[in-house]
Structure 1
């Protein structure tokens, strides 16, 4: 049962070698009540729930862990990056067994909070925080994006495809670069149009950008933009071109229009991290989720197997096998 609760937040400020404690009241959080030994807190990215993508995937992992392992959890949906540290502190001061920070935007805040609360276990998705009490969950987005790039490069009839990103930051450039590499590997004559919405919460702008790319010739548009991408998908559905979803399986949002989704299994990362906690072997450090680990890949083409030629599906599967074997090495633009 879901209940709204108010959370008190203790914020620590250093001044002249002293620690001053200020109590901030009024942050809203959603609590799932359950009798359980392990309590998990999670602060989502600023894209919020309902994105049918990144944050929703993390929530699914929590829900599965609750069903399978009997944990209880509480989450906060931040409205801006300025209060991320406050939100993390809220869970730490309540001595939660594990606190998740979902998204690269938490990196700076978590570095400080992890230092201030060394007895609390933390996990961050999509970034690396080197601390003895932090598990860093990192995905190989460029590898998964390469696969959907192969699909787009072989499926395009105009030799022009598009990419719509959310914020123009290193992690989203991994999606863009992997996609471009995949397209170029099978169709060197194809062009990739690139636009950034500078927001993960702007579906109307996503729709506008996708329509603009279609008018410039793109017949397939891949997005990595959270809720902004919902607009990309609906633009494709309404204007007769194809889209490629991201993070969660988005094929059902526009069956036959979404060729596939580059699935980033944030749910698996969250679930497996909680399982390690429950089993008593959660370790700090980096944990990587790539194609081989099932961390990234394509959806199962539920609605498009009759649209996509078998030769294209075979090429995608071949690329997957070669990435796993090391025969194909997709360049990570952030390294």
Structure 2
């Protein structure tokens, strides 16, 4: 998919010699079953595609594994390839891959030409391994404020999480509960990554959830599609939240969306690698960064927009306080 970049120089005999620079290689590993979620993974793909358009000299390899086992094999095979002069970046686009990184790389060194970028991790590793995390605490705090207002602060809310192991979605849960300041129940769709691709299960569960809760805060990736589908098919449905992108068009019950501008962020990282060859060791991006936000849906802007803006700085302050309190 890439093009070789050629440089030409004049020799003492006025003959031109072509020197071929090593073609940089970008390997991109999406979360298992993630592509096509019309959300987080598809937005990542948009950023990668834009990068490829602007940096055509980079060879791009995209993988969408069916399981964590397949993903581990792809990553392991790449690690074991002998060192070359070719600059290579392996990008793992899911926090589910954190255990794989620790299994295969902790205590080991990458060859000098290789670098690794791990999404949605706050951990710091050895040189050559970079991480970043988009914190949803502040944006979810504003979602909680919204939920409290729309339910008159007297009702309880349900938080639907993909699983009970993924740190970033639990941070979103903490932010929502802090903003809501009421009774919140939490349920999990699975014990592993399959909770992100369980739309049919979420759809079936909605009948029960809809009878018990006036507001649902779902952080379950592609599984959220089942929740939104139910809300379109049945008149009696709780208020909802969109996730990762503006999903207000999917249901009239979506009060707003926790938006991650992951396409812009991944483009920034990839372009830094392509031009400078280095990446920051570990970065956290919260509400103040502009890479994540809470956007009120058009149907609710008249009632809720001013409320959200009045609490925005508080959300930023609460997010900072959360991390100060939880850092070791």
TM above 0.5: yes
Distance 2:77 2:319 in 1: 44
Report the structure, 1 or 2, having the larger strand content: 1
| Corresponding residue to 1:64 among 47, 50, 61 | 50
CA deviation after TM superposition for structure 1 residue 134, in Å: 1.1
TM score, norm. by length of structure 1: 0.78
**What residue is the counterpart of 2:12 in the other structure?**
none
Distance 1:330 1:315 in 2: 21
Count the aligned residue pairs: 291
| Corresponding residue to 1:87 among 74, 80, 94 | 74
What secondary structure, in the 3-state scheme, does the structure 2 residue paired with 1:75 have?
strand
**What residue is the counterpart of 1:156 in the other structure?**
151
**What residue is the counterpart of 2:232 in the other structure?**
237
2:135/2:292 contact within 8 Å kept: yes
Shift of the 330–317 alpha-carbon distance from structure 1 to 2, 3 Å rule, reads farther
Distance 2:263 2:30 in 1: 13
Shift of the 193–239 alpha-carbon distance from structure 1 to 2, 3 Å rule, reads farther
**What residue is the counterpart of 1:264 in the other structure?**
260
Shift of the 148–34 alpha-carbon distance from structure 1 to 2, 3 Å rule, reads same
90-99 or 233-242, larger mean C-alpha shift: 90-99
CA deviation after TM superposition for structure 1 residue 47, in Å: 4.0
49-58 or 153-162, larger mean C-alpha shift: 153-162
Report the structure, 1 or 2, having the larger helix content: 2
**What residue is the counterpart of 1:322 in the other structure?**
314
1:171/1:334 contact within 8 Å kept: no
What secondary structure, in the 3-state scheme, does the structure 1 residue paired with 2:158 have?
strand
2:286/2:319 contact within 8 Å kept: no
| Corresponding residue to 2:172 among 170, 175, 178 | 175
TM score, norm. by length of structure 2: 0.80
**What residue is the counterpart of 2:185 in the other structure?**
193
CA deviation after TM superposition for structure 1 residue 83, in Å: 3.2
| Corresponding residue to 1:123 among 111, 117, 134 | 117
CA RMSD of aligned residues (A): 2.4
What secondary structure, in the 3-state scheme, does the structure 1 residue paired with 2:289 have?
coil
1:205 is the counterpart of 2:207 = no
Distance 1:90 1:300 in 2: 44
Distance 1:328 1:225 in 2: 21
1:48/1:55 contact within 8 Å kept: yes
